[in-house]
Chains A and B, each alone.
Chain A
Amino acid sequence: MISDGNGTLYMASLFRKFTAGLALMVLLAPPLAARDTAYEAPRGPDGERPDLNGIWQALNTANYDIERHLARHSMQLREGPHGPLPAVDLLKLGAVGAVPPGLGVVEGGRLPYKPEALEKKRENAANWLDRDPEVKCYLPGVPRATYMPHPFRITQSHEGIMIMYQYANAVREIYMEDVGPAPVDSWMGQSVGHWEGDTLVVEVTGLNDQTWFDRAGNHHSDQMKVTERYTPMGPNHLHYQATIEDPQTFTRAWTMSMPLYRRMEPDARLLDFRCVEFVEELLYGEWRRKPLPRP
């Protein structure tokens, strides 16, 4: 169970117990039940809806593996004499290349893969370095953009909502009206939002099948629909939930959830992480006029 730990440090103990219990309820019970009695967020620029403006970031290991997992040697493994060891290409990273443990963000702990999709997940993991789109600085898709180890900014005005991610300067607009089906598949999909009480609900469709959920090879098809829910849980954290429907890949719909924390630094801002320049040597280096040696 991921508690909302730091956020409650400054609150009275009674309230602390209450919110801890609340977090438990949110993760275990249908979220709607908790929300009615929950925190009353300040109103946003339209004077009516809660204010989601700010710079937010997940604080978990979901980008390594959204499923519950123990720490392991590396993001890509091979068999050793006494169990798994890092794949050769990652060996020199040592402890830096190890996967930190995580409670997982998937409700129920495990993904309900169809057998052939589970097989593909295993292949992905075995070939992680070649296959993970993050390695090549490709756009992260939804929901992965949310829990990349980078902050993102929500700009919510009186007439529109935009989410900008530091990772790869990914961005998406949340259309607050029916815009019809997505005209074409894309990396970040088409996002259409509406409010349910104080929860911003965003339905994301038109996603391509090129993005992953994490560095563990968890994947989806272009039939995926993601329904996200952003709910203020305190002045400085949101509850994030994403329900995944993809009958091509999974036997049933499943849900991930996690808190999102406000970046509290007074000068917090999105900085540049245009990782394109960081992968040019990887993608194009062999075609330099004078290629650098690659021992």
Chain B
Amino acid sequence: MKTSVISLLGIIAAALSTGSVADDIPRTPQGRPDFSGTYDVATLTPLQRPEMFGDNLVLDPKEAARIAEEERKLLEEDLKPSDPNRQAPPQGGDGSTGAAGNVGGYNAFWVERGEGAFEIGGEFRTSIIIDPADGRFPEMTPTGRKALMERRRFYRENTGEAWWLETDGPGPYDDPELRPLGERCLLGFGSTAGPPMLPVLYNNTKRIVQTEDIVTILVEMNHDARIVRMNAEHAPEDQRFWLGDSIGWWDGDELVIDTTNFRDETGLSGATRDLHVVERFRYNDAGQVIYSFTVEDPNVWSEPWSGEYPWPRTDDRMFEYACHEGNYALGGVLRGARLLEQETREAEAADPAASE
């Protein structure tokens, strides 16, 4: 008991001595800033800044209001009950943009991407990325650019034809292992669990449970609990993890999380096993929880890039995102590709000249 009182006093003294942040922030019984809680991190502010905003990090309030209003109208329209007598969408899709091959796909029932741009300290933001100054990914390395080009060539849009039969190499639907991690239910898409943890189309709930030794961050998709070992050392170099190996420490009143030891496949699209992410949680003067991060991957980007956005608390609870258990899509994707191949081969057999 005596020991714990002394150590508690020590922690409080240490916290007071930094003196940098308002002392009315929530604190744990041990005196740490308390980030415990449930958050909904959905936002309409994109990761990369639309080029029209240039170096302008701050979004004009009128523009922010216009974006929010546009989204509200969109949702209002989309939330209207569907016509029960409607016909099936036309073969090949109805021409609208969106997921699921333009054959209907998600409506507003599924989508929860936030109601507006986020603001920090009263200022709306044009992007999550704050460095580089234009709010966009830095220059890619030659290796990174080459890999990106290859991915784009390989994962081209589904045209409803087995175009890959005309190439020498493999096609994007040959094997389950070639499909994106989100489709395979191995990780949530869009770096939702990260790191860095980014807002996505839906299911943006996070839950932090914080002790002196362990900070757990539960990410809704796919029920991924990030376990941050406080004041610990990274795992040996040959131990690799889907979410990387996260260690944490306190820098004054900021929680710092350092993550390395990734696998070849990372939650952050385009990154490699040499990815290194440093994340920080802090309270700003307005009492917001601000999540910030710096991403380094020398194989992909010529310099590190950084971003920040607020994590607003929510009273909602998290639903179970049981992805794999209901993954009828992955088998359907592969079977669909086999059918397209069969159609192509049959067409060629019927009319050999047409395929020349």
Which chain B positions have C-beta within 8 A of A156?
A: 211
Query: CA of A287 to CA of B179 in the docked complex: distance in angstroms?
Result: 13
Q: What count of chain B residues pass the 8 Å CB interface test?
A: 47
Given contacts A157-B36, A284-B330, A288-B174, contact A186 B319 (CB under 8 A): yes
For B28, give its contact among A158, A162, A277 (CB under 8 Å): A158
One digit per residue, 1 when the CB lies within 8 angstroms of any chain B CB and 0 when it does not, for chain A 249-285 equals 0000000000000000000011110101100100111
Which chain A positions have C-beta within 8 A of B337?
A: 289
- Nearest CB to that of B210 among chain A residues? A157
Flag if B211 contacts A289 (CB, 8 Å): no
- Nearest CB to that of A137 among chain B residues? B324
For A162, give its contact among B209, B324, B325, B334 (CB under 8 Å): B209
- Nearest CB to that of B236 among chain A residues? A267
Could you jot down 24 A-B contacts, CB within 8 Å? Answer: A47-B29, A53-B211, A53-B213, A53-B214, A137-B324, A153-B227, A155-B214, A158-B28, A159-B34, A160-B207, A162-B207, A162-B216, A164-B227, A171-B225, A184-B319, A187-B322, A187-B325, A210-B325, A276-B186, A277-B184, A287-B338, A288-B174, A288-B175, A288-B334
B173 at the interface (CB under 8 A from A): yes
Flag if A284 contacts B176 (CB, 8 Å): yes
Interface members, chain A 142-178 (any B CB < 8 Å): 153, 155-162, 164, 169-171, 173, 175
One digit per residue, 1 when the CB lies within 8 angstroms of any chain A CB and 0 when it does not, for chain B 322-356 equals 10110000110011011001000000000000000
Flag if A46 contacts B29 (CB, 8 Å): yes
Nearest CB of B to A238, in Å = 17
Interface members, chain A 207-232 (any B CB < 8 Å): 210
Which chain A positions have C-beta within 8 A of B318?
A: 173
Which chain A positions have C-beta within 8 A of B334?
A: 284, 287-288
Query: CA of A96 to CA of B216 in the docked complex: distance in angstroms?
Result: 36
Flag if B209 contacts A161 (CB, 8 Å): yes
Flag if A289 contacts B225 (CB, 8 Å): no
A82 at the interface (CB under 8 A from B): no
Residues of B whose CB lies within 8 Å of any CB of A are 28-30, 34, 36, 170-171, 173-177, 184-186, 207, 209-214, 216, 218, 222-225, 227, 229, 239, 241-242, 317-320, 322, 324-325, 330-331, 334-335, 337-338, 341
Which chain B positions have C-beta within 8 A of A169?
A: 222-225
Flag if B186 contacts A277 (CB, 8 Å): yes
Flag if A186 contacts B174 (CB, 8 Å): no
Which chain A positions have C-beta within 8 A of B214?
A: 53, 153, 155
For A175, give its contact among B30, B241, B317, B324 (CB under 8 Å): B317
A173-B218, A271-B239, A289-B171 given; name 10 further pairs at CB < 8 Å: A45-B29, A155-B211, A156-B211, A157-B209, A158-B36, A159-B36, A169-B225, A171-B224, A271-B241, A274-B186
Flag if A270 contacts B227 (CB, 8 Å): yes
Which chain A positions have C-beta within 8 A of B317?
A: 173, 175, 179
Which chain A positions have C-beta within 8 A of B210?
A: 157
Query: CA of A137 to CA of B186 in the docked complex: distance in angstroms?
Result: 12
Which chain B positions have C-beta within 8 A of A294?
A: none
Which chain B positions have C-beta within 8 A of A187?
A: 320, 322, 325
Which chain A positions have C-beta within 8 A of B241?
A: 271-272
Flag if B36 contacts A160 (CB, 8 Å): yes
A139 at the interface (CB under 8 A from B): yes
Query: CA of A288 to CA of B176 in the docked complex: distance in angstroms?
Result: 7
